[in-house]
Chain A
Amino acid sequence: MTLQPGSFAASDATGSNETITLQPVSPATSTGASIASAFYGNDASGHPKPSTVAADQKSLTITVTSGINSLVITLVSPNPDDETVQLCQGSTVLATPTVRNHSGVSTIFIKGT
């Protein structure tokens, strides 16, 4: 199962493991931006639950939970210039945040069905 884009939230089967990757936007072929942190859903005590970020900080993995939950991804870049990047799951573009002045934040709502 993959994340299906929707009008206001992407949807996926509850329990699915999904990997979201950080990619450059054309015509750039690489990006210096990286994922600083990612939080999806909340733990038992109601605190944001950290997602697993890959060692190269170019992707993260989540396990889809039931209901609508937010995935908040913070981005950093050593490049001072504005750079729009895309967050993709497989072939799907989920968000196109712009990293401005070294930082950016993107939120994706995911509905677990």
Chain B
Amino acid sequence: MSRLRLRRCILTFSLALTTVRPTFTSAQIVTPAQQSSCARYHETERCQQLVNEFYVAHSLLAASPSVPLDQPWGDTVALGDKMAPKAILLQLSTDLKAQADQAAQKALQTISTSAAVTQIGGSPSTSGSTNLVTKPTTTDFLSVAAESGAFTDTLNGNALTLQANGLGLTKYLTNSPVFVRWNSGLADRLQPLNFTVSMNVAQSGSSTVPTTGSANASTPTSIASVILPANNTSFGSFRAAYTIYRPYNPQDKTFLANWKKAIAANQSFLNSAGSAIKVALDALIGPDVIQAMSGNLVTAQSEWHQAGAASERQDNFDAFVAAYATYDDAVCDYILSRSDAPKNALGLSRALDAFNAAVYIVLNQARGTPLATVSYTYSTPASKPATHDFTAVLSELFREGREIKDASGKDTGQKDSTRTFLSGAQLTGNFTASLYTKIPTGATYGRFRDLQASAEFDKPFGGTIAEPRGVFSVAGYGQYQYNPTVLNITSGNLVPGTNISLPANAQVLLGTKGWIGVAQGKIAFNISKGLSLPVAVKWSNKTDLTKGNDIRGQLGLSYDLSALSKLISSKD
């Protein structure tokens, strides 16, 4: 056995040359067929290890009394991920439901990427929005907001806004646990993608309805139609946004230097995450459990060895995975059969997620802060022509505490966890270009509607940095309009003071071209996890249809479905 081990650990290259099948070039590459076998037996996370054992260490299983795969905790993350759904079900099915709910909530708070001040509600161009500035981040999954108010519009609007995150939505639609970190490179690409749809609600309007005749003698028979008041809900806008990070290459020397620097800067954070994993693992798998396994799982281990060795002789990878999956399940079930095991398994999952989150911070520091978020918005404001809006969002987060100095008083480049005035604060800037979707024949205005620039400073208050009681914001907005506002005149309208009907595409210009300036103060109260109430007051030098100062309030209510603990497990 020892000889075989020696070969595996030191002479790995020569083994690869002598035992690997001609079609197999790398132990690190898993073919679609192998992936399919692993997925069929719920061993996706161990697929590389199984491929390595089957192809590179071929026949080792038959010759050795033990192999690394015998101990599933050798890949603690794979073990934790395998046990977590079972642990949640076990926990929920016992009288410990309350603790499970609490555990799930804590996991959500750990996993949530919404540590920054996020966008709740619609973008500034949305009717009724309470946001004067668009934020770079929104929800981890889905959020819904109802808002009332106006910034540059003369008339108040009411909007219902639904936001979705590309990663959260993909995980939900593929029946994956929404709040468990996806160990896939695809996750990094989907996370920065967000969608927003806004609906104009409680929108007053009118519709023309033909009459079927006079109801009494005093009514002229010439009245063929009447205008009825209407209260409509209509599509307001659609927005797609993507956060752009500095591209990185793991082979790039600068990135690798930054990676090492970020590891060093976060070493204490990584240490505490590693320590927490050990505490959680020891609670789940103590020495007594290991001791007891020797007596209770010997048969299961022996069967896996026999079936695994047979499948290697038959060159049947699928059977090999099946044999291991049976053993892996037996180990998981045995660990979870202890009274406190489900709770402790959830504890381990939380600790592993916290470590994942710590590594994610390291990665983000190594590749730098987000450069920008770019977004496209298609808007159909009430009684106005539709527009295409292109926005760039720049943001700076202030997360850290005070600088840590060494014994000689020099900055170490690290910061402690002291809460300062800027801790958790965020500065966001927007630049938007708005174009009309189409210009009717003979229009007296051009394609460009306006240019907008805005900035907002957000300062969380109360609670903790991760979960403040609320966020106070001040924002400024400037919009240069190339022409007066274009207003659609619907076919049911008559020229004022006359009975002359207008054509369907009639438009008029109202207000004046030039600058509109808006200043806003806002407080968003975080009523509970996921639920917030933004209240704002704005001042503007004019509105789109009228001249003169305007002071107005905005109110909203939003809920982030990321906080729904029941979605923590897949619907198996």
A associates with B: yes
Interface residues of A (CB under 8 A from B): 5-9, 23-29, 32, 34, 36-39, 42, 47-48, 50, 57, 67-70, 72, 74, 76, 78-84, 86-88, 90-98, 100-109
The answer to whether B250 touches A78, judged by C-beta atoms less than 8 angstroms apart, is yes
The 8 Å CB contact of B76, one of A7, A23, A79, A107, is A107
Interface of A is mostly: strand
Inter-chain CA distance A69–B285, complex, in Å, is 10
The answer to whether B73 touches A107, judged by C-beta atoms less than 8 angstroms apart, is yes
Closest B residue to A108 by CB, please name it.
B74
Known: A91-B9, A100-B183. A76 touches B263 (CB 8 A): yes
The answer to whether B68 touches A96, judged by C-beta atoms less than 8 angstroms apart, is yes
List A contacts of B74 (CB < 8 A): 87, 94-97, 106-108
18 further A-B pairs in the complex, CB-CB below 8 A; given A27-B20, A27-B26, A34-B263: A6-B66, A25-B27, A26-B52, A27-B13, A36-B263, A37-B273, A42-B282, A57-B263, A72-B278, A74-B270, A78-B259, A79-B250, A80-B188, A84-B52, A100-B184, A101-B187, A104-B75, A105-B355
Inter-chain CA distance A94–B271, complex, in Å, is 22
Interface residues of B (CB under 8 A from A): 1-2, 5-6, 8-10, 12-13, 15-16, 20, 25-28, 45-46, 48-49, 52-53, 56, 65-66, 68-71, 73-78, 181-185, 187-188, 250, 255-256, 259, 263, 267, 270-271, 273-275, 277-279, 281-282, 285, 287, 290-291, 293-294, 297-298, 301, 352, 355-356, 359-360, 362-363, 366
Inter-chain CA distance A21–B347, complex, in Å, is 28
Closest B residue to A28 by CB, please name it.
B28
Closest B residue to A67 by CB, please name it.
B287
Inter-chain CA distance A84–B274, complex, in Å, is 19
The 8 Å CB contact of B188, one of A23, A42, A79, A101, is A101
The answer to whether A72 touches B281, judged by C-beta atoms less than 8 angstroms apart, is yes
The answer to whether A76 touches B76, judged by C-beta atoms less than 8 angstroms apart, is no
CB distance from B42 to the nearest CB of A (A): 15
The 8 Å CB contact of B69, one of A6, A9, A96, is A96
Inter-chain CA distance A107–B77, complex, in Å, is 10
- Nearest 9 Cβ contacts at the A-B interface: A95-B74, A26-B12, A37-B274, A100-B183, A68-B287, A91-B6, A103-B359, A105-B76, A72-B278
List A contacts of B279 (CB < 8 A): 48
Known: A95-B74, A105-B76. A27 touches B16 (CB 8 A): yes
CB distance from A51 to the nearest CB of B (A): 10
List B contacts of A28 (CB < 8 A): 26-28
CB distance from A27 to the nearest CB of B (A): 4
The answer to whether B278 touches A48, judged by C-beta atoms less than 8 angstroms apart, is yes
The answer to whether A98 touches B46, judged by C-beta atoms less than 8 angstroms apart, is yes
Closest A residue to B77 by CB, please name it.
A105
CB distance from A25 to the nearest CB of B (A): 6
CB distance from B277 to the nearest CB of A (A): 5
The answer to whether A93 touches B271, judged by C-beta atoms less than 8 angstroms apart, is no
The answer to whether B352 touches A105, judged by C-beta atoms less than 8 angstroms apart, is yes
Inter-chain CA distance A6–B185, complex, in Å, is 35
In this complex, the member of A82, A88, A108 whose beta carbon has the largest number of chain B beta carbons within 10 angstroms is A82
CB distance from A90 to the nearest CB of B (A): 8
The answer to whether A100 touches B27, judged by C-beta atoms less than 8 angstroms apart, is no
The answer to whether B70 touches A97, judged by C-beta atoms less than 8 angstroms apart, is no
In this complex, the member of B25, B74, B78, B360 whose beta carbon has the largest number of chain A beta carbons within 10 angstroms is B74
The answer to whether A9 touches B68, judged by C-beta atoms less than 8 angstroms apart, is no
The 8 Å CB contact of B13, one of A7, A29, A87, is A29
